[in-house]
Amino acid sequence: MKFLIADDNELHRELITKTIQNHGKCHIVSDGDEAVKAFTDSLEKNDFFSAIFIKSKRGSLDGPHALRKIREIEQKEGLELSKEIPIIMTVLDDEEQISETYLRGNSTSFIIKPLTKDKIVEEMTLFGLL
């Protein structure tokens, strides 16, 4: 398995990586632009990610925009809904952010911060990745 982790917070990247690295290779980027590029590169190489973690943040290409861009690329490439890559957003406990990220952004799931190993494991287990 292969996982994409997009977060500008080094501690969050390390926590996610340490939690899942025994289950697959972790590709780490720091923002949404890099996440979209890594996703596109993986499609070109036919080496898909098993799951993607994206931080919901404001920035050059924030998490929700990167999420929508990735979903657009999946549709353009003809990936069936059942074959969409699980995208797990990390969000603050804020109804507006959760709504933007999860409902409008079409993420598969989300983890409310603070991030913990247990929360990460729970999400990975939910999608049959552990």
pLDDT tens-digit map of 90-111: 887 777 767 766 666 688 888 9
Domain ranges of the chain: 2-126
Distance (Å, whole) CA 66 – CA 39? 10
Distance (Å, whole) CA 62 – CA 77? 22
Please give the average per-residue pLDDT across 68-75, as a whole number: 91
Distance (Å, whole) CA 34 – CA 127? 24
pLDDT tens-digit map of 19-31: 999 999 999 999 8
Distance (Å, whole) CA 126 – CA 31? 25
What architecture (CATH level 2) is domain 2-126? 3-Layer(aba) Sandwich (3.40)
